[in-house]
Amino acid sequence: MKHNVKAPSVGESITEVSLLKWVKKNGEAVKVGDLILEVESDKATVEIVAESSGRLSILKPEGSRVPVGDIIAEIDDAAQGSVAAPAAQPTPAQPAASAPTHAASSTSVAMSTMGPAARKMATETEVNLSQVQGTGKDGRITKGDILSHQSNGSHGAAPQMTPSAPTHTPAASTAPQREGERRVPMSHLRARIAERLVHAQHTAAILTTFNEVDMSPVMALRNQHKDAFKAKHGVALSFMSFFTRATVEALKMLPDVNASIDGRDIVYHDYYDIGIAVGTDRGLVVPVVRNAGSLGFVDIEKKIAELAKKARDGKLSIADMSGGTFTISNGGVYGSLLSTPILNPPQSGILGMHKIQERPVAVDGRVEIRPMMYLALSYDHRLIDGKGAVTFLVALRDFLEHPEKLGLEY
Active site residues: 381, 385
Distance CA 311, CA 326 (A): 19
CA 195 to chain centre: 12
Spatial CA neighbour of 330 closest among 278, 266, 269, 289 = 278
Q: Return all residues near 150 (Cβ < 8 A) that are at least 6 apart.
A: 93, 125, 127
Overall residue count recorded for the chain in this entry: 410
Phi, psi dihedrals of residue 142, rounded to the nearest 5°: -105, 170
Q: Return all residues near 217 (Cβ < 8 A) that are at least 6 apart.
A: 400, 401, 402, 403
Distance CA 300, CA 247 (A): 13
Evaluate whether 409 touches 402 at the Cβ level (below 8 Å).
no
Spatial CA neighbour of 277 closest among 268, 269, 286 = 286
Strand spans (E) along 81-165: none
**Residue 29 pairs with which residues in a beta bridge?**
55
